[in-house]
Amino acid sequence: MLEIKNLIKKYGKFTALDNLNLEINKGEIFGFVGPNGAGKTTTMRIIAGLLKANSGIVNVDGVDARTNPKGLKNKIGYMPDFFGVYDNLKALEYMEFYASIYGIVGNKARQLCLELMDLVRLSDHTENYVDEMSRGMKQRLCLARSLVHDPELLILDEPASGLDPRARFEMKEILRELHNKGKTILISSHILPELAQLCSSIGVIEKGRMVVCGTVEEILSAKAAASPIIMKFTEGQDKAVEVLKQNNLVQNIVIRDNSVSILFKGSETEVAGILAAMIQNGAMLSSFTREESSLESLFMQITTKEE
Ligand SMILES: Nc1ncnc2c1ncn2[C@@H]1O[C@H](COP(=O)(O)OP(=O)(O)OP(=O)(O)O)[C@@H](O)[C@H]1O
Ligand SMILES: [Mg+2]
């Protein structure tokens, strides 16, 4: 559905996107995560056709962004990370204004806009002035606006930022509904656990490069491999440490008074093997746990590697 290859974007001498690659399949909700300034908005603006890349390929459902920018715009709904000024428009008027940009007018426009406002739970607020709406309502209106031309791909730049937990929950529910209607969604956020609940795949961007990309399951299993194993012994800790030192799948042994923690780069079967070896060697093991590391901590590990 969306293919990005070797995308490069420079602002003057500064390279904001450095050979970025990204692929999203039809019907996916893809989470785009990265620290401030990583290049998320830049990437999204390029996909939406609002910004020109220096080089690279952006292809949406067979439409090349460079040769057919108009075709691209029909396929994409873009929700920016900021709100403009609304010049005293009421919510429904605002929606109808956007529909008219796409040539939808009159009764047809009214009908469509009411349906979309219903979808984003704004049916009771059609006559509210946009400027007087709460942030959560504005964000939902903005989402409804991005849907007027029935795009296949939605590009949502931090749609849940600045929302309270309830409003975030509502936004998530609406996105699930859109996903069920067959939309492909690219969504950016800093809130990684939230994306993990919502998305099928996740890409982590840092300094304009994709550092990790895969299904949520793949990323979670990479996380498990990066989580330390902590062991406690009632007797024979030194004997256990002997065994650990001889195993080259064991990295980084940390010995504390009453526990030993290791990083282990092996399969579950290999974990079982090393456990058996320690016990055979006379260690009395009383506890064996993987440190609970959140997706958040994986994110921290990945994104601070270079610093
Ligand atoms: N118009 C511009 N001129 C110069 N530099 C820019 C411009 N827009 C963005 N940048 C720089 O490019 C980098 C990427 O910015 P971008 O807004 O894409 O990051 P982001 O991942 O969306 O960050 P955030 O999480 O804060 O929204 C940043 O270092 C930013 O300062
Ligand atoms: Mg941004």
* Rounded average pLDDT per 10-residue block, the chain, 307 residues: 94 94 94 90 92 92 83 89 79 93 92 94 93 89 93 93 86 92 92 79 90 80 72 93 92 85 84 93 91 60 51
Which ligand 1 atom is the nearest neighbour of the CA of 34? Answer: 21
- Ligand 1 mean position to 257 CA, how many Å? 47
The pLDDT value recorded for residue 223 is 62
Question: Which bound ligand lies closest to the C-alpha atom of 205?
Answer: 1
How much distance in Å is there from the Cα of 105 to the middle of ligand 2? 33
Q: Do 124 and 152 form a contact (C-beta atoms < 8 A)?
A: no
Range list of H helices, 120-230 = 135-145, 165-180, 192-198, 216-225
**Residue 42 CA, closest ligand 1 atom number:** 18
Of ligand 1's listed atoms, the one at least distance from the Cα of 12 is 4
Rounded CA gap, 142 and 144, in Å? Answer: 5
CA 251 to ligand 2 centroid distance, Å: 37
What local confidence, expressed as pLDDT, does residue 4 receive? 95
Contact 262, 198 (CB under 8 A): no
284: CA distance to ligand 1 center in Å? 54
Residue owning the nearest CA to atom 6 of ligand 1: 11
**Which residues, other chains included, contact 64 with Cβ-Cβ below 8 Å and sequence gap of 6+?**
57, 58
Output the six-digit token pair for 54: 């220096």
Please give the pLDDT value at position 306: 44
Q: What is the pLDDT of residue 296?
A: 60
Contact between 7 and 40 under an 8 Å Cβ cutoff? The reply is: no
Identify which ligand lies nearest to the alpha carbon of 190: 1
Q: Whose CA is nearest to atom 3 of ligand 1?
A: 11
Question: How far away, in angstroms, is 80 Cα from ligand 1 center?
Answer: 13
Alpha carbon of 291 to ligand 2 centroid (Å): 32
Per-residue pLDDT, 307: 39
How many whole angstroms separate alpha carbon 293 and alpha carbon 302?
13
Pocket residues: Cβ below 6 A from ligand 1: 11, 14, 16, 34, 36-42
Ligand 1 pocket, mutate which of 33, 41, 47, 50 (most atoms under 8 A from CB): 41
Q: Which of 219, 201, 144 is nearest to 175 (CA)?
A: 144
Residue nearest to atom 12 of ligand 1 (CA): 16
Separation of CA 12 and ligand 2 centre (Å): 19
Q: What is the pLDDT of residue 265?
A: 79
Residues recorded for the chain: 307
The best mutation among 8, 10, 14, 18 to test binding of ligand 1, ranked by most ligand atoms within 8 Å of the C-beta, falls on 14
Ligand 1 atom with least separation from CA of 17: 14
**Ligand 1 mean position to 139 CA, how many Å?**
21
Token duo for residue 68? 């057919």
